A = this chain, B = another copy of it.
Amino acid sequence: MGLTPTRDDKFTFGLWTVGNRGRDPFGEFVRPPVDPVTAVRRLADLGAYGVNFHDNDLVPVDATSTERDRIVRDFRRALDATGMDVPMATTNLFTDPVFKDGAFTSHDPRVRQYALQKTMRAMDLGVELGAKTYVFWGGREGAEVDAAKDPVEAIKRFRAAIDFLCDYAIDQGYDLRFALEAKPNEPRGDLYFPTTAAYLGLIPTLAHPDMVGVNPEVAHEQMAGLNFFHAVAQALDAGKLFHIDLNDQKPGRFDQDLRFGSESIKPLFFLVKLLEESGYDGPRHFDAHAYRTEDQEGVWEFAAGCMRTYLILKEKAKQFCNHSGIQALLAEIRDAGGVADVGPYTRGRAEELKAQTFDREALAKRRLPYERLDQMVVDLLLGV
């Protein structure tokens, strides 16, 4: 197997992922900060394609314009030196106390305006560094107290913000698509738009639906116990898979952002297979971080592990396609027995169909050897 990542694999990491310092609700930082230039160099060495960032991952929120310029210059030099890209950028609309009750959905119009300002500036920064995709994760757009905020109003406010920012991108001539990222809860008790599908439902109601898609994240769907593979399939079917966040998560608990493939081996095999076979050609972005027990060198092990497991699963996806036993079973399972699809509606077809006689019992008896098929997949995954 070719398990050494190359640029063609399009693996990307957020600055915040390898820069994660291991603070959690019950403990302090365990690792020093990683400066962006180091992150770029180390990731490039590991075979990554690019890095992504929140505005303040790169430029501190209170930086002067001189500081900003210096940081951006140094960062660009590191990109140039390594050949790394910045395919995606995003805005931090959740860390600062100003966003304690939301950014675009805050009750306070000044907070909403500040969120717009911060996003426009962050879009400028992202575009300046080459980003083609702009991600929106509404980390504080939610509620603990449903008495306080009308969720219909919150949706309208969120829509207005996205519409405004689409227009801004268009007006600036930016070659930029938006990707909306869902999460069911945490840090808020409940977040609005809790699933990828919630954004698939929102997008058609936007002013510029064509330039807006989704950024599904493994951990976020799995927090709600949902099948991530199915969620991505729906995004693909809708032509809306604009970006993807790869990591791992045990269902029904806090957001873990674990190393890709460290928990959900079988589900992530199907995901990788789908991504590789679907024609999706965007970045494979890892939005994860190292265990808090890890030191800084462990962070690079973690990053290498994400890519390695992706490549192993990609190789297994190929094996699946070339596995004669699996393919024979699939052929049997999918065999339509020469019966044609009914096709689009015509009155004639409907009448014919309504008059037809079906032998329910015979149809029910059809063999569906899914246990055998699934065991073959388990064997393949376990390398037997």
Contacts and interface: CB of A to CB of B under 8 A. Distances in A.
A227 B185 CA distance: 10
B30 A336 contact: no
Interface stretch (A43-51, A70-78, A97-105, A125-133): A97-105
Given A309-B375, A374-B259, A237 B156 contact: yes
B198 A155 contact: no
Interface residues of A, number: 158
B238 A205 contact: yes
A19 interface: no
A3 interface: yes
A308 interface: yes
Contact of A372 (B194, B301, B369): B301
B187 A345 contact: no
Given A234-B198, A252-B252, A109 B152 contact: no
A204 to B, nearest CB: 4
Given A148-B333, A293-B101, A364 B230 contact: no
Given A259-B374, A341-B109, A374-B145, A114 B358 contact: yes
A363 B164 contact: no
Nearest to A315: B384
A154 to B, nearest CB: 8
Contact of A230 (B30, B109, B151, B265): B151
Contacts of A99: 27
A345 B190 contact: no
Interface stretch (A7-15, A81-89, A349-357): A349-357
B234 A202 contact: yes
Nearest to A236: B152
Nearest to A356: B117
10 contacts: A1-B384, A30-B364, A98-B364, A145-B377, A167-B344, A186-B254, A265-B381, A293-B368, A304-B375, A308-B375
B109 A293 contact: no
Nearest to A349: B164
